[in-house]
Structure 1
């Protein structure tokens, strides 16, 4: 069966401190040589992921804004996939439009005694100071289609009040590096659609999914080999799944070790 890999980016394939993927280069090169699809499944925008894919020389489909959208390069599959046609891609939209999400977000925070700001409230320069991203990356991060990352400063009680109000306004929320307000979608929705496409292409597939955050839960649930990446402090997100693999190192180092072990195991089983 053909391996297919879905991976989160920040804190998983990319270091959370400096966004480097150097520690994962060995496994990345192996994946590339073997022709294994490597699908980025991120909370980042399509503009951000397109830029990152160029750095990785990645030509595969990708999932953006916590499953709000899937982008499939033009001509990637030898069959038609339904979705909006934009330059270079088929764009499958699963999430609520960003304008609706912002409207619900603004209504939810009104009157809550806390400091609550979304990416849409900040200039790209303010965002660069907070996130450590370059100003160009922050401009791309503000090109949102489905999902509003949120900076929250308040008490546990005001946090609970805010998220109750988010749900009362017809939205959902999740947590990665930041809180996110979004529609009723998740990374697993995007992975499930792409899994069906790869099954149609290859017949049989084995899925490997890697992530470090609560917003990766539904992605990991789609995996034959779910991998939970250790955080920089040595702790793990509270995710409990059968056959869950936990890494013994954080970020790209843990990604490299876990993926190498899984690919070794798959190759050994074929020989056996």
Structure 2
């Protein structure tokens, strides 16, 4: 793959996790470990951008040796290490050792909507807040400890849909009328506030450009429809192939290059990103 004007940097990479940087089944990141180290040595920040919670992200950042900002719960909040930029970003507040920018709604507001909606229309789904740890383990393949971290959410509610497609369409229409968003991930329908991975990515990209005085360009990587809002913002959109569904559709443009991996999951991430930075 040859470099041209489109590949002039400097670059930020924002990446989904499950099915993209992590294996969809066993959550392994072994195929990308060496490449992530190389990117770190080249000072290319990799921003983790996922439906996962703050607690889950802390553990994954430790495993991946990643000390950059990260985005949780499908764009609902941005966490920036407290000393990462020379000043506190506007609208941010302190949480532990991070600056926190909230772009979503508190989970209790989402649960209130679900309670009212279920009273009138029923609940053909398993919600994380109502599920037992054992049910989450069975639905996700996570360990018990990982399932507890996944259940400890602040801004979103994953729903394992058990009803019909028509019931799902009706539910998403009612959620939109209430000012909420729904995103279909690899396994779950996520209910959240009026935000998405793309909006949070843009807010964080603005912080990089403002506080590092650098016109960063963006590579985004994802594997499912709930990544499209993030992928649409990218100069280079990397779509990671999944084993059991077609890649999400995104058109190339004069300003956007779209690359679909041949390999699946983290092997596909290594394939495409490794070639871009070879």
The answer to whether the superposition gives a TM-score over 0.5 is yes
Could you tell me the TM-score, scaled by structure 1's length? 0.92
- 1:167-178 paired onto structure 2 within 5 Å: 167-177=176-186, 178=188
1:131 pairs with one of 140, 164, 167: 140
Q: CA RMSD in A?
A: 1.5
> Is 1:199 the counterpart of 2:209 in the alignment?
yes
After TM superposition, the structure 1 stretch with the greater mean CA deviation from structure 2, 45-54 or 163-172, is 163-172
Partner of 1:267: none
The secondary structure found in structure 2 opposite 1:67 is coil
- What are the equivalent positions in structure 2 for 1:121-270 lying under 5 Å apart? 121-177=130-186, 178-200=188-210, 201-233=212-244, 235-242=246-253, 243-264=257-278
SS in 1 for 2:121: coil
Question: 2:247 & 2:150 partners in 1: Cα distance?
Answer: 26
Q: Determine which of 96, 100, 105 is the counterpart of 1:96.
A: 105
- The range that moved more, 209-218 or 193-202, is 193-202
Deviates further, 163-172 or 218-227: 163-172
Structure-1 residue corresponding to 2:124: 115
Change in Cα spacing, 1:244 to 1:110, as seen in structure 2 (3 Å) is farther
Deviations 1:118-172 (A, max 9, x none): 1001122221121110111111111111111111112222222222222233311
- Contact kept, 8 Å, 1:119 with 1:150, in 2: the verdict is yes
Partner SS, residue 173 of structure 1: strand
> How many Å separate the matches in 1 of 2:197 and 2:245?
24
Higher relative helix content: 1
Given the two structures, how large is their TM-score scaled by the length of structure 2?
A: 0.90
TM superposition shift of 1:232: 1.5
User: Is residue 51 from structure 1 mapped to residue 89 from structure 2 by the alignment?
Assistant: no
Q: In the alignment, which residue of structure 2 is the partner of 1:268? A: none
- Aligned counterpart, 1:78: 86
Structure 2 distance, partners of 1:103, 1:239, is 35
Specify whether residues 122 and 234 from structure 1 end up closer, same or farther in structure 2 by C-alpha distance, changes over 3 A only: closer
Q: 2:228·2:248 contact (CA, 8 Å) conserved in 1?
A: no
Asked whether the 8 Å contact 2:17–2:49 carries over to 1, the reply is yes
What pairs with 1:10-21 in structure 2 (closer than 5 Å)? 10-21=18-29
Residue equivalent to 1:39: 47
Deviation at 1:198, TM superposition (A): 1.5
Q: Could you list the per-position Cα deviations for residues 59-84 of structure 1 after superposition, in whole angstroms to 9, with x for gaps in the alignment?
A: 00000001000000011011221312
- Does the CA contact (< 8 Å) of 2:223 and 2:241 recur in 1? yes
CA shift, 1:249, in A, is 1.1
Partners of 1:100 and 1:241 in 2: CA distance: 37
For the structure 1 residues 99 and 114, does the alpha-carbon distance in structure 2 shift closer, same or farther, using more than 3 Å as the test? closer
